[in-house]
Amino acid sequence: MGVWRPHLFVDRPEDVAVAARALAGGAVVAVAFGNFYAVVTRPDAGTVRRVNLAKGRPAGQVGSITATPGRIADLFDWSLVPHRLPQRRVRQLMDALYGAGPFGFRGPAAAGLPAHLTQHDQGVRTTQVIAPGLACPSNAFFARAVAEAGVEHLYITSANRSRHLTGADEEPAHWRADGIVADFAHLDDLVVLAHRDEAAARAAYPDHLPASVTLLSFHAPTGDPEEPPVLTVDRHGSLHLDQVRRAAAPLGLQVRLGPAAGQRLRVRAYAEALV
């Protein structure tokens, strides 16, 4: 057999339209996302459950959200952000980090977000929003997909099989489309909206590993009330902690690694058979 080649590309408007219509109809879309790939679908509970099972996750695992850049801030309830953490500074940090590339934030969930896309932490109902960065062409796909589906946001998850299924300590996200196809061959409705040039996509983000995004939470800042608020890195992924700190420091914010983020996520290595 020859090498599999994707036939839909994220920078081609007609392909974006095809993928968006497929998503609206219930399909699972693996989309070029910054310098790697993510799986995106409709945000309803049934679809989230189906993707969890397809990945080998527990059926009820809470999902993450993605949206167009102009909708991201609306997914959080800013009235629940502690007063010692100025909203303006958090939004400026969002602009800085999403402006640089793929990243994720977790904060108080906006009213109306369903239980399967939220989780409680330290007494706060939170949601996590994963976005590819302002320069990524996948934003055009998200805009078309939410319009086609009649929704305001989408469900997003890593493009890989779960460690619950494989038994591995960690299952890194895919940065190659052929790897996604191999992992999700059992899904008849998988659509791949690929990078036209995967090497160029990786080169476009020199400060980011081609791995799941770093996730920063702001719903429960820590530290001495007399000192700058400390935000927590829940997951140390694509963007290094030092880079996050450099973006936060001019805004008077400090950043620390959370208890589950002590080890940075690995980048997936591929066997020669997939080359």
- Encode pLDDT of 181-223 as tens digits: 999 999 999 999 999 999 999 999 999 999 999 999 999 988 8
Class of domain 13-266: alpha beta
- Weakest mean pLDDT among 53-57, 81-85, 165-169: 165-169
Give φ, ψ of 192 to 5 degrees: -110, 115
Is pLDDT of 15 > 80? yes
Residue with tokens 């989780």: 119
CA angle 166, 170, 173 (to 5 degrees): 95
* pTM of the predicted model over 0.85: yes
* Average pLDDT over every residue of 130-151: 98
In this prediction, residue 2 carries a pLDDT of 37
Of 185, 163, 171, give the one whose Cα is nearest residue 56. Answer: 163
